[in-house]
Amino acid sequence: MKEIEKLIAYEKVMDEGEEKTQSSNLPTLDAISHASLIGHCLAAYVSTLSESHIKTISSKILSDCQFMLTRLFKFPDASAYYHKEEYDGLVKACKLALHQKYPKYSTEGFEALYSRPPVIYFSAAAPASLGQSLCMQLGLPISCISTVPCNSVSGANSKMDVTIFEKLIKDDIAAAKTPVLLVAYAGTPLTGQVDELIKLWQICNNNGIWCHVDGNCLAFLTLTADPLTEQRPILADSITVNLGKWLGILSLQLITLYKCEDTTMAYMAGMNSFNVVSKLSCLPLWICLQSMGYDGIIKRIESSFHLCHLMLKKLRNLPNIKIVNIEKKQDDEEKEDDENKDMQHMMDINSNPVTLLFKYSVIESDAEKEITPYVIKSSEESCEQEKELAYYDALNTWLADLLSRENPQLAITAAIVDKGVCIRFSPIETAQVSGTTEEAVEDFILSLQTQTAILDATVSQRKQFQNIVANCENLMLIEMEGYAGLGAIRYIPASWSEKLAELPENGKNDINTLNIELVHKLKSTDSAFSLGQCADNIACVKFGLITADTEIDELVSLVETVGKQLEESSKFLETMSERILKGIEEASKDLQRENHERIIQEGLLRQVPLVGSLLNWWSPPPKEVLKGRTFDLSSGRIISTETTYKYHMQIQEDSDNAKNASSLPSPDANEMAVQLHVTTQHVDSTHDTTLEDGASDKHEQSVSDDKDDDAAASKATEEESGNSVQNIPSPGAETTSEENPIVNTASEQITTTEGELATTESSELTQK
């Protein structure tokens, strides 16, 4: 039990590519849902009783459920089939219709259908996979499915075209086919539109076609009149109702009510069963019906219709919200036929909507105007209209996502219809489970007004934004498909602005890097900016949604200013890197030249590995070797490091006394002074020369065994020299970096005399 408790209470989710365990969102059960769950347990318990006892219980439950359901939905003399799968009732209705049309179907099977193949008619508003799924379960070819087109109302699929349906029937009969069944909708799955059920029923009745009706608007049949009084029959052969979804009761089975006087055909079609245990599946439904009663069921369904009507009333008061699936009510409406009053009430979706589809749309927008079909538009106009529609789709997608997060009680979703993305609200499906109330609808309207004000400001200033960007030399407008915002731009450096037609790879990298840095800089200033990636894999700056008081020209000017600053900074770094490279190359040439001269002076014998070692032992080479070069960016000179290694410190010489120095173009006055030191190491065995970058901030000092002699030598040096030497440590004492700072400023000057040089050399000899 603990194991199953863990499996139910916790679920595994993927977070940034990692699988994590978190507490699952368990639904809250009311008293009726709790009773339904108990009903499943009771059904399992009752199935263990004796067969005669089970028959008594199941017959009582079945008769009570059938009586209540037929009265509730005004479908007298009907039988009930209970199923778990959504389209299982439709499959059984198709089998029943096939048995009625083909009497030998039960014995001959598919051979009975071969001479005159059956045809099943579907509305174009039906789910795309329904026909294929039905054919697979019936064992029929996909050619048996015939799709009936729908009329279009405000860009959304709506009612089935009755005229085309009649024409299809005549064509199929002429082609030696047999029309068998029609699937009509009292509330299409997406838009909630109701087909012309009265006309469709008349056509089906005249041609012997089974009429099956499905949809959420069937719930309206419970509200038409007192269910206990005698009612006129619904104009259909079978209907499928989902009481569990409409009432917000979990784990209730779906019910298909059908009319069939021949019980044998019902058994052959699978509508009925001899298994008494399977008949107990309606026990949870029986418990719920008994607990709620007619009044409780009607109250819940009526509240869902009321919420939808309230939402429709509020939305019609918003100027830039367009209702997609509701037609405007006409004054010259047809008079109601008293014989089919209930059906006409159900078909009047304007007065009794169960689903609302609405979208944000600017009033009198060119993208929303209906274009005359015979008017030929230019390619540019067509392209612009497609861009406008795509932009509004992005806005409505963003709006639906935001509203669903801010108002979880309404279960708002985004729906795609013929001409764009819409926001879908269907309280008959979600109100009882989500706990939707009138206060929640009011809060939703306030949230919608706030967000539409932001969208109004963004849409109204979008054209101005494009014009401002077009007048900026370094900014380029970028079209990002599916982005709901003011727009996107890209900063183009002046060096690449004239080469955009044939931009090389390094140019793309430069522009991409610059725009990424630009977004990082801008995000620290304003959260309206974000980083975007276009189809060419080059970054851009995205402008989000704005408010009415936002200054567009200031935002664009900020992007341009920061972009120019980054561009100039990148140019400075490129210039500095070029100077450093030139300095390294020149220093390397000087070192190679001097090293070559040193090798010539030492002789060729010293370069031979074995002979050179013996010669070096017999006659050691001079100890004074080439130390390296120092490149000073502040002065633009290359200076020898001989004095640095001799005095164990960096000495800044005057430009007049500098030897072996090569001048470079001096950088700007505000540039930092950076020193690059190139040093060499002399290897006695191979006499290789190695370049090292950077000047040594620390120097190694040897500790003398005789400190008194070192102190005397240092004192003698001070007496001989007329000038004082700064920061030169005594050879016999250990010093740290704090005691011996490196002098590298332009203000401090260090001068040496011949006496100081002699003193330093004598000190080194004393150490050795």
- The predicted structure's pLDDT at residue 278: 86
Q: What is the rounded CA–CA span in Å between residue 510 and residue 515?
A: 9
Q: Is the pTM of this model over 0.75?
A: no
Average predicted confidence (pLDDT) for the chain: 77
* pLDDT tens column, 378-403: 566 778 888 888 999 999 999 999 99
Q: Which residue has the higher pLDDT, 463 or 660?
A: 463
Residues 658 and 642 sit within 8 Å (Cβ to Cβ): no
- The predicted structure's pLDDT at residue 385: 82
Q: Which of 35-39, 150-154, 592-596 has the highest mean pLDDT?
A: 35-39
- The predicted structure's pLDDT at residue 726: 36
Q: What is the rounded CA–CA span in Å between residue 407 and residue 437?
A: 11
Q: Which residue has the higher pLDDT, 381 or 248?
A: 248
List CB contacts of 271: < 8 A, sequence separation 6 or more: 79, 81, 92, 96, 256, 258, 260
Residue 405 in domain = no
Alpha helices in 179-258 (DSSP H): 197-207, 243-247
Q: What is the CATH number of the domain that holds 144?
A: 3.40.640.10
- The predicted structure's pLDDT at residue 768: 32
- The DSSP secondary structure of 87-107, one letter per residue, reads THHHHHHHHHHHHHH-TTHHH
Q: Which residue has the higher pLDDT, 466 or 153?
A: 466
Confidence of residue 329 (pLDDT cuts 50, 70, 90): low
Residue 564 in domain = yes
Last residue of a domain, one of 584, 600, 616: 600
Q: In this predicted structure, which of 120-124, 349-353, 396-400 has the lowest mean pLDDT?
A: 349-353
Residues 131 and 182 sit within 8 Å (Cβ to Cβ): no
Residue range 351-372: average pLDDT? 68
Alpha helices in 488-551 (DSSP H): 505-523
Describe the crossing of helices 283-315 and 51-72 by its angle, rounded to 10 degrees.
20
Residue 546 in domain = yes
Last residue of a domain, one of 189, 214, 239: 214
Residue 57 in domain = no
Q: Which residue has the higher pLDDT, 525 or 428?
A: 428
- The predicted structure's pLDDT at residue 205: 93
Checking if the pLDDT of 223 tops 80, the result is yes
Q: Which residue has the higher pLDDT, 302 or 638?
A: 302
User: Which helix (H) or strand (E) covers residue 268, if one does?
Assistant: helix 263-269
Backbone φ and ψ of 182, nearest 5°: -125, 130
Residue 128 in domain = yes
Range of the domain at 571: 472-497+505-600
Share of the chain above pLDDT 70, in %: 72
Residue range 442-462: average pLDDT? 94
Nearest to 592 by CA among 688, 491, 511: 688
Name residue, tokens 């199923």. 83
Q: Which residue has the higher pLDDT, 175 or 334?
A: 175
- The predicted structure's pLDDT at residue 755: 38
Q: Count structural domains, the chain.
A: 2
Checking if the pLDDT of 643 tops 80, the result is no
Confidence of residue 601 (pLDDT cuts 50, 70, 90): confident
* pLDDT tens column, 723-750: 333 333 333 333 333 333 333 333 333 3
Helix, strand, or coil here: 145? strand
- The predicted structure's pLDDT at residue 229: 52
Confidence of residue 455 (pLDDT cuts 50, 70, 90): very high
- The predicted structure's pLDDT at residue 756: 37
* pLDDT tens column, 254-309: 999 999 988 889 999 988 888 888 889 999 999 999 999 999 999 999 999 999 99
- Quickly count: other Cβ atoms within 10 Å of residue 761's Cβ: 12
CA 470 to chain CA centroid, nearest Å: 29
Confidence of residue 376 (pLDDT cuts 50, 70, 90): low
- The predicted structure's pLDDT at residue 715: 42
Q: Which residue has the higher pLDDT, 230 or 57?
A: 57
Helix, strand, or coil here: 386? helix
- The predicted structure's pLDDT at residue 92: 95
- The predicted structure's pLDDT at residue 378: 59
- The predicted structure's pLDDT at residue 732: 37
Checking if the pLDDT of 656 tops 70, the result is no
- The predicted structure's pLDDT at residue 658: 41
Name residue, tokens 């199941």. 58
- The predicted structure's pLDDT at residue 15: 75
Q: What is the CATH number of the domain that holds 478?
A: 3.90.1150.10
Q: Which residue has the higher pLDDT, 105 or 578?
A: 105
Checking if the pLDDT of 14 tops 90, the result is no
Q: What is the rounded CA–CA span in Å between residue 236 and residue 89?
A: 14
Query: Burial level of 476, CB count in 10 A (0-12/13-18/19+)?
Result: middle
Q: Which residue has the higher pLDDT, 575 or 197?
A: 197
- The predicted structure's pLDDT at residue 250: 83
* pLDDT tens column, 676-691: 333 333 333 333 333 3
- The predicted structure's pLDDT at residue 745: 34
Confidence of residue 636 (pLDDT cuts 50, 70, 90): low
- The predicted structure's pLDDT at residue 156: 52
Q: In this predicted structure, which of 237-251, 335-349, 493-507 has the lowest mean pLDDT?
A: 335-349
Confidence of residue 635 (pLDDT cuts 50, 70, 90): low
Q: What is the rounded CA–CA span in Å between residue 445 and residue 429?
A: 20
The residues with which 531 forms a beta bridge, in sequence order, are 541
Residue 319 in domain = no
Nearest to 722 by CA among 755, 750, 749, 748: 755
Residue 122 in domain = yes
Cα dihedral across residues 137, 143, 144, 146: positive or negative: positive
- The predicted structure's pLDDT at residue 344: 58
Last residue of a domain, one of 214, 244, 276: 214
- The DSSP secondary structure of 353-384, one letter per residue, reads -S-EEEEE--TT-TTTSPPPTTPPPPHHHHHH
Cα dihedral across residues 34, 36, 41, 42: positive or negative: positive
How many residues comprise the chain? 768
What's the CA angle centered on 590, arms 588 and 596, to 5 degrees?
A: 100
Q: Which residue has the higher pLDDT, 619 or 44?
A: 44
Residue 207 in domain = yes
The residues with which 656 forms a beta bridge, in sequence order, are none
- The predicted structure's pLDDT at residue 620: 77
Q: In this predicted structure, which of 253-257, 469-473, 641-645 has the lowest mean pLDDT?
A: 641-645
Describe the crossing of helices 754-767 and 707-720 by its angle, rounded to 10 degrees.
170
Nearest to 238 by CA among 105, 344, 345, 90: 90
- The predicted structure's pLDDT at residue 407: 93
* pLDDT tens column, 335-346: 445 555 555 555
Q: Which residue has the higher pLDDT, 449 or 29?
A: 449
